[in-house]
Chains A and B, each alone.
Chain A
């Protein structure tokens, strides 16, 4: 079964940092771009970042550029989202997804930024 499992969320203070992890199983990880999408409470879906199969290309939504970094470890079938200088507006459920076209989704992990 194709599966994505996120971890690492929780409560962070404004200006703080968190690192999200996503472990993939059930498919050949190295064949796919990987994507992070977020959903603020009661709001719609927002693409955050994605990374090429070999990690050589990364893209970000403007609102997180310079603050978030996406990376991957193909030996561990994992993708990460390092989130620095967190703001209240980063509060959301963060989903890991397979491919640029989001064909498979994880269960999501809640990130709350509050003092």
Chain B
């Protein structure tokens, strides 16, 4: 199984400042078709998860452009350029390249300092 490891586990950020979340996989997520199926999700308090980013760096419809994804192989990053109050929540990475099982990272909790 592909193990997804996120860091840090929690992050306190000042409003308007950037935030960065790391996700590492136990093996390369480059699939035989050349794509890398690594997604990012946001879960606000009391809400369902919402996909933000798919295939490493593609933003879903309606996702603010302050969110960006990057990375390759086994190392990936979700960046928030300027944190807003509505960004509080838990962020998860998930790989869909080598499954079953589909696997999620353990989550990173983002709070406002």
A: which residues have CB within 8 A of B?
35, 37, 44-47, 50, 59-62, 95, 100-108
Q: Does B51 count as interface, using CB distance less than 8 angstroms?
A: yes
Q: Does B50 count as interface, using CB distance less than 8 angstroms?
A: yes
Q: A102-B39, A102-B94 are in contact. Are A47 and B51 (CB under 8 A)?
A: no
Tally of contact residues, B, Cβ under 8 A? 23
Q: A105-B48, A107-B48, A108-B48 are in contact. Are A100 and B102 (CB under 8 A)?
A: yes
The B40-65 residues at the A interface (CB cut-off 8 A) are 41, 43, 48-51, 54, 60
Listed stretches B14-22, B70-78, B81-89, B103-111; interface member: B103-111
B-side contacts of A50, CB under 8 Å: 100, 102
Q: Are B54 and A44 in contact, with the CB atoms below 8 A? A: no
A-side contacts of B30, CB under 8 Å: none
Q: A44-B106, A95-B49 are in contact. Are A103 and B92 (CB under 8 A)?
A: no
Contact of A95 among B39, B48, B51, B103 (CB under 8 A): B48
B-side contacts of A46, CB under 8 Å: 104
A-side contacts of B49, CB under 8 Å: 37, 45, 95, 102, 105
